[in-house]
Structure 1
């Protein structure tokens, strides 16, 4: 749970600050202390679990528990901590659990087949233990005597053995039965006919291509176009002298060198600086010369790209519009409102629209995402393509919006089936993993916004794709093979246990009953004349225990 809590904080930081904290934690002091804390909690949890198991076994044997006071405190502490972490995860990971559900939609067929294989491997120890318990129960039943006290004790032991068999065997066979029929309720978009597979989703470069160049720079946007992006996504802010520029964060510390140039003002909002100062900041040195990589899966830059990235500046919105007009690419952006006391606090939307229209870019290349003042936008720039958020179909129809830009986790809700049925163009953000892109492809999503365009563009067929007939064949084949293997394993253990039981019964009968030859010999000794009364009463002992032979032989007497 502590691991999930740690990664919750990491993912939240990555979402809001655009920085890959995994690399930072893995290369600094934070990683050391995280390992220490997680190790301490793991040791504490393991110790408490061991105490619980020992306590359960002692209670099973009807033994009284003698726990020290610190044992009780540790158990209570771990239980309270676990419930606290679980509550935190359920609160802050409410949306993240949807990612788990989406991954199950992709990997469910493979998890199903792998689980059956695991159950086959587990059947060996389960069969050994169940058959061993059965043999133990039969032997104890065979040894029951007329002594009532021993009989009650052995019957109690037989009940415990049967209870152990049920506790082990019943869950195993129930899980196996569920795995055999689970495909009947399995839904995976990647299980479909090849003819039903939709076209490959298009790409919007998220702040350009941030794994190939510094985000929100001209180098990054050019790299995205080189790798097949149909649109460029960015973040627009307004400088204090009313110049729209591209910047995501609410300060300049992460993506510029402002801490070197103006350290005392580094925490101020970017909109509170004038463009003359912003244009002098370096916006690429953090990307090319830092020992901390912004993305974990980044490949090393070439020397030419490293030098080019180190000389990047903060671009204006007009520079992006000129590139999009020249390459005929769509432009979509988040428009952040300036802070209070900014000169364009109330008129920033009008300012941005006027800048776009002055750039002479074709209006259909603008995918307008901001929600505010849509009526003004339609009157001022009727050619803009309006993009909505996760609105209802009635709201989209009322606003005359045919494209939505939604978080990829919304795909969990029926695969956005009703939006596709209404001919709504769907764009998902931010899709970086190949399995997630494959899921979007199988779900007939039109486009995705990605940081990893160079990798996703190389995918020519969705991963984990299979036809229903192939999956049914694999399902039935695995069920039959696993049933045969599990049956053979149980039969083998039963045969081996029966052989051991026969040998044990033979030894027991031999020790309890004298052989027939010894009985005949004892009968002859009893009937022979010349025996005393004491010898006749114990003939068997005389026959079995002969007198010892003296070591020195006496000389024979003459007749």
Structure 2
């Protein structure tokens, strides 16, 4: 037994209750309730941290949304990740200290400052969850999708955690004298354990597959080139994506005041502000539409220096000095320049038309036809004027962004956000020989899951990372997984049974000693 002033007791008591020199001499009120609150908040923050990590693939969506409001480009999602990580670590450590105190039989007395921070944690997670639900609802599908990649391992981790906690649960069960409390403790623990042990019956992952049945690796399409290696939508970026072996360049086309198609994603009130020095070059000029500047004026802009200053993907440090110099001197490219590059490397081109209110389709198609690039290298995505494009450029591959439109026209090329389809739907479409491209996929876990599902290709910012993957992060034969699942459950049950017996014997011994101490004085009398 540890002494009252042992280092373990002092540390746990000090961290949890802020009593460093001596234990609290006041009566503990609602200590069990606050332990329950701490446990609930810890689980809540862990769940929130999981959401943040799974949503990391789409961090640009958050950063872009904030930029559209504040007109300031900062990696806001990373700020969110850091705050969430600090909160999760804080709550988890506090819970560990509480459990140690229980094991050491130290009275629990949660300090009021910790109570305040727990309240702030609940508010933070509640606001974050509400924000996702209201402004980013599609991300919940990503979280559900991620469970197909993580659920087998989360289940094993959950079984391990239950096994460790069982010591304290059975200790409380045997110490409690009230029958109702014993029934409640055991009912809750058994219910949670049964759910955890049997949850693999509901786990369906495309990566639980025979090795021979694993689909081929999806091809890569460079999202605005290779924006982790060079400024997005610049010639340098597309050249770097060629080095990754992409099969297509994905970009965004707008037209200048003098009707020259050029490459730029941001539009409307955000036009050119994020990725060029337009505010310095043309102060006071109206910059709310692509046609506010001529092609000659666009050529005066620097489209690469922002990349070095903001380092949007924290990747600038990986560039050589020569690459940094090249990146800092990029200009806004025309569509014709990209078509020439694509023709040279026999690479397809897929793009969005950001503004089609001045017959942009006609000028864009004419530019493509005049470039002499083979028509089968053009993946035509804009839905507006599709019939017109099909008529004057029959060689273009028609790409659709909804299954219904694709089926209506009897086409076989689909380009949708990765969360728009379930893994089962991807497999069904591939069985129909439909080419399925999914955007934007940056994280290896997501790429692995879509690989197992049978995706034809993915549009990515991280082509340099995904090109080196020779296999998914994990695959497992279904029968092997069943053996591992059942083995882990059985081992956990055996350990729990042994812990239950040990705690019962320990409790009985404690009762026997207590009765002996009461009997000896009576015999003496």
- Equivalent position to 1:363, from 372, 375, 397: 375
CA deviation after TM superposition for structure 1 residue 351, in Å? 1.0
Is the counterpart of residue 287 in structure 1 residue 307 in structure 2? Answer: yes
In the alignment, what sits opposite 1:383? 395
Residues 332 and 367, structure 1, Cα contact 8 Å, conserved in 2: yes
Query: In structure 1, what is the Cα distance between the partners aligned to 2:147 and 2:446?
Result: 11
Q: Distance in 2 between matches of 1:76 and 1:301?
A: 44
Q: CA deviation at 1:361?
A: 0.4
Structure 1 range deviating more: 252-261 or 436-445: 252-261
Match status 1:106 vs 2:143:
no
Asked whether the equivalents of residues 318 and 355 of structure 1 are also in contact (C-alpha less than 8 Å), the reply is: yes
Deviation readout 1:223-246 (Å, 9 max, x if unpaired): 000111011000000011010000
Q: Name 2:236's counterpart in structure 1.
A: 219
SS where residue 75 of structure 2 aligns? Answer: helix
Tell me, in whole angstroms, the C-alpha distance in 2 between the residues paired with 1:208 and 1:309.
13
CA offset digits 1:308-339 (Å, max 9, x no partner):
1111111110111011111000100001225x
Q: Does 2:41 align with 1:23?
A: no
Match of 2:351 among 327, 333, 354: 333
Residue of structure 2 in register with 1:273 after alignment:
293
Q: Distance in 2 between matches of 1:10 and 1:438?
A: 19
Report the TM-score when normalising by structure 1: 0.72
> How far off its partner does 1:79 sit?
9.7
Tell me, in whole angstroms, the C-alpha distance in 2 between the residues paired with 1:423 and 1:15. Answer: 35
Instruction: Indicate if the aligned counterparts of 1:240 and 1:273 stay in contact, CA closer than 8 A.
Output: yes
1:375 deviation in Å? 1.6
Structure 2 regions of 5+ residues with no counterpart? Answer: 1-43, 95-117
Q: State yes or no: 1:167 paired with 2:203.
A: no
> SS at 1:448's partner residue?
strand
State the distance in 2 between where 1:84 and 1:476 align. 39
- The answer to whether the 8 Å contact 1:10/1:22 transfers is no
Determine if the alignment matches structure 1 residue 253 to structure 2 residue 273. Answer: yes
User: Displacement, 1:189?
Assistant: 1.1
Q: Aligned partners of 2:518 and 2:241: how far apart in 1?
A: 83
Deviation for aligned residue 1:201: 0.3
Could you tell me which of 496, 505, 510 is aligned with 2:506? Answer: 496
Aligned residue number for residue 398 of structure 1: 408
1:196 matched to 2:213 = yes
Classify 1:25/1:476 alpha carbon distance in 2 versus 1 (closer, same or farther; 3 Å): closer
What is the alpha-carbon distance in structure 2 between the residues aligned to residue 25 and residue 84 of structure 1? 15
Q: Quote how far apart the aligned CAs of 1:513 are.
A: 4.4
Residue range with higher mean Cα deviation, 114-123 or 277-286 = 277-286
For the 8 Å contact 2:62–2:76, the answer to whether it is kept is no
- Counterpart CA distance in 2 for 1:419 and 1:260 is 49
CA distance in 1, matches of 2:125, 2:243: 49
- The reply to whether residue 231 of structure 1 matches residue 248 of structure 2 is yes
Q: Is the 2:316–2:324 Cα contact (8 Å) retained in structure 1?
A: no
Pick which of 456-465 and 11-20 moved more: 11-20
Q: What secondary structure is seen at the aligned counterpart in 2 of 1:268?
A: coil
SS of residue paired to 2:414: strand
Which residue of 97, 100, 109 maps to 2:140?
Answer: 97
Aligned to 2:114: none
Unaligned runs of 5+ in 1: 47-74, 138-160, 339-344, 515-543, 545-559
Inter-partner Cα distance in structure 2 for 1:25 and 1:438: 23
1:308 matched to 2:343? The reply is: no
Question: How far does residue 190 in structure 1 lie from its aligned partner after superposition?
Answer: 1.0
Other structure's SS at 2:470 match: coil
Q: Distance in 1 between matches of 2:77 and 2:149?
A: 30
Q: Distance in 1 between matches of 2:398 and 2:231?
A: 28
Three-state SS of the structure 2 residue aligned to 1:109 is helix
**Greater radius of gyration (CA):** 1
Per-residue deviation at 1:271?
Answer: 2.3
Distance 1:407 1:233 in 2: 14
The secondary structure found in structure 1 opposite 2:274 is: coil
CA 1:247–1:454: 2 relative to 1, 3 Å? same
CA displacement at 1:86 relative to structure 2: 5.2
Aligned to 2:11: none
In the alignment, the residues of structure 2 paired with residue 502 and residue 403 of structure 1 have an alpha-carbon distance, to the nearest angstrom, of 77
Asked if structure 1 preserves the Cα contact closer than 8 Å seen for 2:448 and 2:473, the reply is: yes
The 1:328/1:79 distance shift into structure 2, 3 A limit, reads closer
Partner of 1:130: 173
Question: What is the root-mean-square deviation in Å for CA atoms of aligned residues?
Answer: 3.3
Q: What is the SS of the residue equivalent to 1:237? A: strand
Deviations 1:227-267 (A, max 9, x none): 11011000000011010000111111111111221121263
TM-score (norm 2): 0.77
CA contact (8 A) 2:301 2:331 kept: yes
The answer to whether the aligner puts 1:182 opposite 2:199 as a matched pair is yes
Measured in 2, the distance between the counterparts of 1:234 and 1:356 equals 14
Comparing 8-17 and 475-484, the one that deviates more: 8-17
SS at match of 2:232: coil
Count of matched residue positions in the alignment of Structure 1 and Structure 2: 442
CA contact (8 A) 2:210 2:477 kept: yes
Q: 2:215 is paired with a residue of what secondary structure? A: coil
Equivalences for residues 378-457 of structure 1 within 5 A? 378-392=390-404, 395-412=405-422, 414-457=424-467
Structure 1 residue 413, shift from structure 2 partner: 6.6
Contact 2:340 2:373 in 1 (8 A): yes
